[in-house]
Amino acid sequence: TTWRAISASKIVANRLIFNNLTATQLQQLQHFCVSASMNASDNQMRVNQLGIQMLSKSLHDQLFGGRQDHVPPDILSDINNHLSQHGLLGREGSLVADTNFKLPTLLGKTPDEHFKRIAIEQSKPYLSYAKKLVRRRLPLMPNEWLLHAGWTKYDAQTGERILVDFPDDDALVFDVEVCVSESPLPVLAVAASGKAWYSWVSDSIADRQQYGWLSQCVVDNLIPLGREG
């Protein structure tokens, strides 16, 4: 069986290494391991050209359509030399029973294309917000900033200064200031969108309190940017 052929091959390989096994001999032995696996029945273990166990045939066929790739001889030689330098060439690895189950249908021809399509779909709304933001000009910056704890919105159309819980725009340009000599927590922040400017002031600055006591962080010390949950 394939399991016995591979196990016997690895035992022989381990013994020959200590007797100055040549690279050519080792490659021949590795190819024997591969051949033994590939000639077995479909539910037998797959190994690569280095005798390392690979995905089961069932999973490999679902992910790669049964494509068989082989490492070119020159690259395989470099791999062998690298493994030999680190004392890993021919070392017997652990073998596990094949795992076979039905995978979801790939959204593309390869796993790489599958995950790329998922990433594009998941990030599409945020990319759309960012593109809208860069196409718009920022409104004029306020001439005067309100030193009030929390967020203040400066409406570009009405000129009003409105106290808000957090900016209500989809995308923002955001910056924060920290008094690093006293605490790693934020003290001031400013944000801008295509419709308004915003400022945020910490309680300690607004109330003229000593800032040093904010050495331990609680949620109220942080800058809110959305609804809870």
Q: What is the residue type of 63?
A: L
pTM: 0.57
Residues near 4 by beta carbon (within 8 Å), at least 6 away in sequence: none
Quick one: 16 exposed, middle or buried, by C-beta within 10 A (0-12, 13-18, 19+)? middle
Residue 132 is predicted with a pLDDT of 92
- pLDDT averaged over every residue in the chain: 79
Residues with active-site annotation: 175
In order, the DSSP letters of 8-72 are HHHHHHHHHHTTT--HHHHHHHHHHHHHHHHTS-TTS--B-TTS-B---HHHHHHHHTT------
Report how far residue 146's alpha carbon sits from residue 206's, in angstroms, rounded to the nearest whole number: 10
Residue 24 is predicted with a pLDDT of 55
Q: What is the pLDDT of residues 91-136, one digit of tens each?
A: 777 788 888 889 888 898 889 999 999 999 999 999 999 999 999 8
CA 213 to mean position of chain CA atoms: 37
Residue 14 is predicted with a pLDDT of 42
With a cut of 50, say whether residue 7 has pLDDT above it.
no
Residue 209 is predicted with a pLDDT of 59
With a cut of 50, say whether residue 38 has pLDDT above it.
no
Q: What is the mean pLDDT of the segment spanning 199-207?
A: 85
Q: Tell me phi and psi for residue 99, to 5 degrees.
A: -110, 125
With a cut of 50, say whether residue 41 has pLDDT above it.
no
